[in-house]
Each structure stands twice: as structure tokens, then as C-alpha cells.
Amino acid sequence: MLERRSLDLSESGCSNLFFSPEICKILQSESIFGSVDLIGGFMVESENKCTFDLLQFQMHLCLVSDQAAANYLPVVCFRPKCVVLVVSPQMKEQAASLEEALKRAVPGIHVEHLAIADTNDINGNVLAFWNVLSEKAGLKPLVNLTGGTKTMSIAAMKAAESEGCPAFYLAMENNSITFFPKGELSEERHIEHIAFKPKIQSYLAAYGYLSDGVCPRTARLSDSELELYRELIVRPNFHLAIPLINKFVVQAEGRNRTRGLKAALDSDTSNKKTVLSAVNEFQRAGYLTYEDGELIFTDEPNRFFVAGGWMEKYAAHCLDELGMHPWINLEVEKGVKNEIDVAFLRNNCLYIVECKTSMTKNKETAEKIVYKLETLKKIGGLKTQLILISYQDVEKNAKRRAEQGGIAVIDGKKIENLKSYLRQVIES
């Protein structure tokens, strides 16, 4: 019999039905999940109405794969004492990153590695898994079937059935768990709407990335800010001026802060009247001063804003209105440091947004931008989604390459309806 449950642990039901107040505090800890309510009842009923509480299982057997979050999130949530990572030769680096992330997230947790030589050796792996489950029987093992290859999952299920220990599969796309109380398909149970909602840093840590960025309480713009944005986006002649302003403003980066940040406007600049008109809009909004042919900035944030940071803020504003809680200027590091303009999580999937106000009509420039996005694809697992927002139309060949590589492109006139296009990308 298939049983579907959707339970709320956020208030009184948490302590009265399933977990102690202390456990609830752990589960709802801001240090783990951010300022969100953790919902979902990690519990099913067996045929004899005995309650299964997933927090009682103190050992997790996890199949390591490129999709680290599928192992990381349940461990952080259910907090077992011990985790055994099943590691194929191809997954050694991923296992090391996952172990490090788990130890940071769950202090005192014991992590072991079980190396397997051949992922397709079902019988051999069944025996290896069964030996571990039998050895750790005192900890009430729980088998996570989500990661690894299909043959590894089959072997893990057979081992769970042989030992009579429970197993589960986490569907990341809708936060639902399929639970097998005795490791048997005939005993299938469903728990739905489990709200794994980690902070983005916790999510990235599962993939071995250290991160730092800004997540404003709200990214929405004031009416006066929106007025500036409307001018920048809607006025067609500004599409020539803004990339030129970017070019000049870059010159001011890193200048002596005590003297102010300055950038000279080229007197021979084509479309100078239009450029000055755009400069006037920034000046009216308080982001710069224009004197004697120079752009003068009071601080680096203002210079960055004029150099293109305004598009990042506008994208974050639109995403916040869509309920996505975006991060701005996210730095991620795993040997090499990468800068991400805007990022957010939806259904445990990482979205990376690159915002450009430069000359993306230029083929060379556009191809460099697309290449950068392609290199970011590895961050956050196999399901990472990439979005390019360009103030100008993207050169056609680069745009084709981006779209063929799964990069959503919102460019040119589409920016006027940015929120609608972002919604389309997110919901597609």
C-alpha cells in the first residue's frame, strides 16, 4: 500500500508529535538552514502503525556521485553519528569534498570511506555493503539510494533488504523522500514536501567550494532607484552610451581612495551627447559627479555600480520579487577563485546569473563571456542552471553557442521585461 504524507514540524506539532524541542532547534538552526521554516515530517507509519523517525538512524550509507547535495542535505538534517561514503575510483575527489563539508556542518560526525573497484560488480558490491550494514547494525543504519550509479543503487538496495535495514531515495526536484522501512520495494512509503532549504554556502560546501557574498534581507529597489533603472533600460539611445561609460569607468578602478576615484571621458567619443545624457542620470541619482570632463566617484561601491553593478542589482530585484532570495557578488573558491554576479537556489538546484552591460555585440567579447559561464557549470552539481543577462544583443554566433550549451540568454530589448523572462527560464 502506497502512503503519502505531508507533515509540518515548524510549530507545536514538531515537539508534540515527533521530535523534542532541542531537536527542532537543531533542525531549524539558522546556522544550517538560514532564516526559513523547516517543514516536512521525517516520519512514516509501518503496517503495524509503528512510527519511523528518520532521526533515530545513526549511520548513513551514502553512494558518492557528482550530485553531492543528495547525500549532504539528509546528513545535515538528520545528523547521524556516522557516515560511510561508498567511493568509486572516479569519485575520490568528490568524496573528499563531501567529507570536509559534512565535518564542518555536523561537528563530531565520523566519516568512513568504502572503496569499490567496479561500480558494475553488483554481487561483489552487495556483499561489501552488507558487511558494513551488519558491522554497524548497532547504529541503526539507513541507506541513501540517491547517489552513485544505477548498479550501485541496485546493490545498495539488495544489501539493505538482506540486512532488513531501511533505505530511502530523495527526489531533489520536489523535495520528496521515498522510504523503504525494511529495504523492500513492497514496503514503499512516501514522505512529501520535505523542505531542505540550506544556505547557499552550505550547498556549495557539499561540492568543495568555499564561498562569500551578499544576501540582502531584501534585494528590492526603492521607487527612486527604479526611476533610474527605467531610464537606463528603456531609452534606446542609452544602449550605445552605457558600454562606452563602462569602458571609461574601468579606468578608475583601484585609484587612490583619498583623492577619489576618477575617470576621464574621451573628448572624441562618438555619441558624446548621448553619453553625457546617461552620465547625467547617474549624477542625478547620486552615484557620480561630472566635472571638467571627468567622472568622479566618492567610493568604490558607487564606481562599481556605474561600471555595470546596476544591472546585477536590477536582476536581483526581479528575482527577489519572484521569491528567489538571490545572492549578489558571490565569490566561490576551490583552488581557483570565481566571481558570480547573482546566484540563487530553487528546488535544491543552483542558478548562476551573469550580468553584462559591455559590448556583447562584439563577437570576441561575447564568446569570452559564454566561455566563462561554461566554466561555471561545474559549480553546484550536474543540475546547475546558467543565465546570461546582457544589456545589448549578444552576438549571434556566441548566442547560438550559449543556447546549445544550455545557457539561457536574456538580451537586448528583452531586458525591458526582465522579470517575465526570468520567470520563464525558472519555470521551464
The mean per-residue pLDDT over the stretch 405-419 comes to 94
Q: What is the per-residue pLDDT across 168-178, written as a single tens digit (0 to 9) for each? A: 998 877 777 88
Question: Cell triple for residue 67?
Answer: 550530485
What was the pLDDT predicted at 45? 34
Chain position carrying cell 547557499: 200
Closest CA to 43 of 199, 226, 168: 168
Question: Cell triple for residue 341?
Answer: 554576479
Q: Which stretch of 126-140, 164-178, 183-197, 377-391 has the lowest confidence by average pLDDT?
A: 183-197
Residue 305 CA: distances (Å) to CA of 198, 252, 300, 413: 29, 12, 8, 21
What was the pLDDT predicted at 425? 95
What was the pLDDT predicted at 273? 85
Average model confidence (pLDDT) across the chain: 81
Q: CATH second-level architecture of 214-219+312-427?
A: 3-Layer(aba) Sandwich (3.40)
**Which DSSP helix (H) or strand (E) runs through 350?**
strand 349-356
Question: Cell triple for residue 219?
Answer: 534585494
Q: Which stretch of 218-232, 244-258, 284-298, 392-406 has the lowest confidence by average pLDDT?
A: 244-258
Higher-confidence residue of 211 and 129: namely: 129
Same fold yes or no, 4-199 and 214-219+312-427: no
Query: Is the pLDDT score of 410 beyond 80?
Result: yes
Q: How confident is the model at residue 188 (pLDDT cuts 50, 70, 90)?
A: low
Residue 273 CA: distances (Å) to CA of 46, 268, 276, 357, 412: 75, 11, 5, 19, 22
Query: What contacts 33, CB < 8 A, 6 or more positions away?
Result: 27, 197, 198, 199, 202
Q: What is the per-residue pLDDT across 320-360, written as a single tens digit (0 to 9) for each? A: 999 998 999 888 888 788 899 999 998 888 999 999 998 78
Q: What is the per-residue pLDDT across 285-298, written as a single tens digit (0 to 9) for each? A: 999 999 888 888 88
Torsional sign, CA 9, 10, 11, 15: positive
Homologous superfamily (CATH) for 223-308 = Hypothetical protein VC1899 (Restriction endonuclease-like) (1.10.10.680)
**Which DSSP helix (H) or strand (E) runs through 110?**
strand 110-115
Q: Which stretch of 22-31, 211-220, 322-331, 371-380 has the lowest confidence by average pLDDT?
A: 22-31
Q: What is the per-residue pLDDT across 23-48, written as a single tens digit (0 to 9) for each? A: 344 334 433 333 233 323 333 333 33
Write the single-letter amino acid at 154: I
Question: Cell triple for residue 206?
Answer: 557539499
H-state helical runs in 177-309? 200-205, 223-234, 238-249, 272-284, 300-304
Query: Is the pLDDT score of 16 beyond 60?
Result: no
Residue 7 CA: distances (Å) to CA of 4, 13, 53, 86: 10, 9, 13, 31
pTM, 2 dp = 0.77
List the CATH code of the domain at 4-199: 3.40.50.10770
What was the pLDDT predicted at 416? 92
Q: Where are the domains of the chain?
A: 4-199, 214-219+312-427, 223-308
Closest CA to 71 of 194, 182, 168, 212: 168
Q: How confident is the model at residue 113 (pLDDT cuts 50, 70, 90)?
A: very high
